[in-house]
A and B are shown apart, each in its own frame.
Chain A
Amino acid sequence: MGAFRGSMSYTRFFVRGELPTDVPPAEDGTPRTFRDRFVDAIRLRAFRPLDPNEDVDFRAGWCAPEQPFDTDLAHEKIFFGDYLNLGFRVDRWRIPAPLFKASFRDAERRFLAEHGRDKLSRAQKEELTAVVTATLRKKVVPAMKVIDLSWQLSAGIVRFFHQSPKQHELLLEVFEKTFDLELVQDGAYVAALEGELPAPVLEGMTELEPTRLVEAVR
């Protein structure tokens, strides 16, 4: 259900801000455009796999479209004419609850036996949770999600092929950090604004009350 195959479910976002025009040339004097700058920025925020030794629950970053393991991003992989296409990869640690509970109880028993205690303090519980979590993260594979993103550059429209508000929130953060441009989500008012409707319609929209379809009959 993405940009390249199958049915398409997406949310439109509109880009706020201009595509960069003042891109300095390369060291050898070769002129550069916003596309070169974007490739540099995307590579900086390319996806990096989760490390079980890091204290993070998830990580999001860019990958090649339809290629979640390809994070060596270059012009020819992401620019399709007027479109910039990317994969938005999010990996998250998911430790099955029964596994965690069993491992924690086991670790708790050993700790209490070693230290001659009856129960854990709150601080000890938190510390043990962190230790057990880190241990289990070395045994499980993170859950991976990859979402297509297609940016129609001349129109300033980004189509993000997922409709979950949580994913949108994550996208906004990563997109804005990557491109230094804001995104505004499509909706009833924004669609009218972007559709160049006359000002009286835009003004009138926000002063409307919902139509009463039932009371009017009575």
Chain B
Amino acid sequence: MSAETKTAAEAGEAAEPMGPSLVDRIEASRFLGGEFLIWLWYESERREGAFEIEGFGGVSFWLEEQMTLRAEGAQGATASESALKGAMPSATPEAKEALRQGKRPTKAKARLERGPQSWSFVLNADPLTLSAVKVPGVIKDGTEEQFFERMQLAEELEGMIYALYGEFLALRVDPRWEKELAPALARWVAEDPSA
């Protein structure tokens, strides 16, 4: 996904008009936020945290401190939920067991490091949003300069996360997902970390 932004006019021209069609697409794609979280979880373990992001270079990414997984019951109500905490909750047997029970991550705390800079944040699955974002240390003096730096760092984080999202989506719509990646994910889910 391009790291560059575009004008509202360009966005308006490129996008479909509002109406049932866009709403249908939004609703049909909602589950992909949770699958993106699972993919990040899986890849961060497989790659040992080392990601190469187009436009940004090498970064380290890992899940930490807290993760919530939920199974939906009838009409979207929560059937059961696992709220895991600890240094690396994603590496615990409980986390994999929750996946085996059909739960999906709804949010996870993560850290991303690029060179000397480090961001911590919570990635929410539905809707796909960032919260509790802590940007690398900013200049302390000057309200306006501080604001610009905070925004630049937040936009940089968005750029990296949404670039990863683009990488995930390109894989997800590829026929190889069903043939190779989904089975690999399933084998990973079935693994017992305590074994």
Which A residues lie at the B interface, using CB under 8 A?
1, 3-4, 7-12, 14-19, 80-81, 83, 85, 150, 152-157, 159, 163, 181-182, 184-197, 200-201, 204-208, 210-214, 216-217
- The residues of A that contact B9 with a CB separation of less than 8 Å are 18-19, 156
Is B172 among interface residues, defined by CB-CB distance under 8 A? yes
Q: How many residues of B contact A (CB 8 A)?
A: 67
Across the A-B interface, the 9 shortest Cβ-Cβ residue pairs: A156-B8, A204-B173, A155-B5, A9-B131, A189-B29, A195-B1, A216-B186, A187-B127, A8-B133
Q: Which secondary structure characterizes the binding site on chain B?
A: helix
B-chain residues with CB within 8 Å of residue A192 when the two chains form the complex:
1, 29, 165-166, 169
- Return B186 CB to nearest CB of chain A, in Å: 4
Docked complex Cα distance between A187 and B35 (Å): 13
Query: Do B150 and A155 have beta carbons less than 8 Å apart?
Result: no
- CB distance A197 to B132 under 8 Å? no
Q: How far is the CB of A116 from chain B (nearest CB, A)?
A: 51
- Given the interface pairs A4-B143, A16-B12, A16-B15, the reply to whether A191 lies near B25 with Cβ below 8 Å is no
Contact B8 A211 (CB under 8 A): no
Chain B residues within an 8 Å CB radius of A214 = 99-100, 102, 186, 189-190
A-B contact count (CB 8 A): 193
Compute how far the CA of A181 lies from the CA of B124 in the bound complex, rounded to whole angstroms: 27
Q: Which of A19, A189, A213 contacts B99 (CB 8 A)?
A: A213
Q: Which residues does chain A contribute within 8 Å of B8, judged by CB atoms?
A: 14-19, 153, 155-156, 181
Q: B183: CB under 8 A from chain A? A: yes
Would B127 and A195 count as touching, CB distance under 8 A?
no
Q: What would 23 A/B residue contacts be, using CB atoms closer than 8 Å?
A: A3-B150, A4-B143, A7-B134, A8-B134, A10-B129, A11-B129, A15-B8, A155-B6, A159-B154, A186-B129, A187-B30, A187-B129, A190-B26, A191-B128, A191-B162, A194-B6, A194-B15, A195-B162, A205-B28, A208-B32, A208-B172, A210-B31, A213-B186
Please tell me which one of the listed residues B146, B148, B150, B189 contacts residue A8 in the complex, with CB atoms under 8 A apart.
B150
Contact of A4 among B15, B24, B150, B177 (CB under 8 A): B150
Report which of A12, A14, A159 forms a contact with B11, defined as CB distance below 8 A: A14
Once bound together, how far apart are the Cα atoms of A212 and B35, in whole Å?
10
Closest Cβ–Cβ distance, residue B109 to chain A (whole Å): 11
